[in-house]
Amino acid sequence: MTTEKKKSIYRPTSPAVEQAAQLLLCLGKNKDNDMGLTAICKKIGIHKSKGFSILNSLTQYDLIIKDSRTKTYSLGPALMPLARKARKKLDINAIAKNPLQKLANETKTSVLLGIICNDQFYIAEKYDGNDKLSVTVRQYQSLHITHGSHGKAIFAFLNKKDQQRIIDSDQLFFHGDFESLDKKRLQQELKFCRENGYAVDNGEITPGIKAVSAAVFDHNNEVTAGIVLVGTFTEDKFETFGKMIASTGRAISKLAGAQLS
């Protein structure tokens, strides 16, 4: 008779390294950057003597700098090259490339990646999954943040302050021209998007062209980009393609550091 060995749940960790990481993250999240020893230790829940030792060790490697006048600590210059290298690796274009090409191939459509900046949606990349039919979109072309399906997918997850700012601007192109806006229908679409992770455009923006979109989140769990699946597919594909693009959006977001429930 053989007995099956249980998998060990033991995960070797170093308390000192964990506390050092918590300390760096604590300083990174502090808006004023500089913090005193007492405030740091209280924030992460360690004894002052332990915090002092960790800070001194990090200071030796310029990961932390100490202001001798104010006795406060802040992030050091040695983090800059590390951040640049991490940023390069976590560049949204690089992260999204393989998942979006896979999505384009599986759906036999064109898939767009758009970056959000100043209430504009900039087309950063386009991936084609159909060599016979491709939607013509210029790279770096900009569209309004509320434009069509990507507008609904992005707006649904913006914070209340940004939502109100955009509403107050009277630049709302969710259903095409501003005159076409149906506010009651929009609320239903936004609710659907929050529940299912995707939004659709049934040829309202460009007659004959369908679109399905999902939001992409960054390491702060804020909307940073959007992905759009466009083509001449039939309306009955909305649910299937919607689930696929929502799943892809979540996968890219997690690769970018988002903590999604």
Tell me the Ramachandran region of residue 258: left when phi exceeds 0, alpha when psi lies from -120 to 50, beta otherwise. Answer: beta
Average pLDDT over residues 220-229: 94
Q: What's the topology of domain 91-255?
A: Beta-Lactamase (3.30.450)
Which H or E run includes 86? helix 79-89
DSSP assigned state of 124: E
Tell me the Ramachandran region of residue 257: left when phi exceeds 0, alpha when psi lies from -120 to 50, beta otherwise. Answer: left
- The yes-or-no verdict on residue 136 having pLDDT over 80 is no
- Mean pLDDT over the full length of the chain: 88
Structure confidence by residue, pLDDT tens digits, 2-28:
444 444 445 567 888 999 999 998 888
The phi, psi pair for 158, rounded to 5°, reads -75, 155
- The yes-or-no verdict on residue 87 having pLDDT over 90 is no
CATH number of 15-76: 1.10.10.10
Maximum separation of any 2 CA atoms in the chain, in Å: 76
Give the start-to-end residue ranges of the domains of the chain. Answer: 15-76, 91-255
DSSP assigned state of 6: P
Single pTM value for the model: 0.67
DSSP for 143-207, please give it. EETTSHHHHHHHHTTS-HHHHHHHHHTT---TTSSGGG--HHHHHHHHHHHHHHS-EEEESSSST
| CA dist 72 → 49, 54, 69, 226 (Å) | 15, 14, 8, 40
Contact (CB, 8 A) for 196 and 203: no
- The yes-or-no verdict on residue 215 having pLDDT over 60 is yes
In this predicted structure, what is the pLDDT of residue 28? Answer: 82
Beta strands, E only, the chain: 35-36, 64-67, 72-75, 110-117, 120-128, 142-144, 199-202, 210-217, 223-231
Quote the CA–CA distance of 120 and 17 in Å, as a whole number: 41
- The yes-or-no verdict on residue 82 having pLDDT over 90 is no
Q: In the chain, what are the helix, strand and coil shares in percent, each to the nearest 5?
A: 45, 20, 35
Name the residue among 240, 179, 22, 195 with its Cα closest to residue 187: 195
Structure confidence by residue, pLDDT tens digits, 147-166:
999 999 999 999 999 999 99
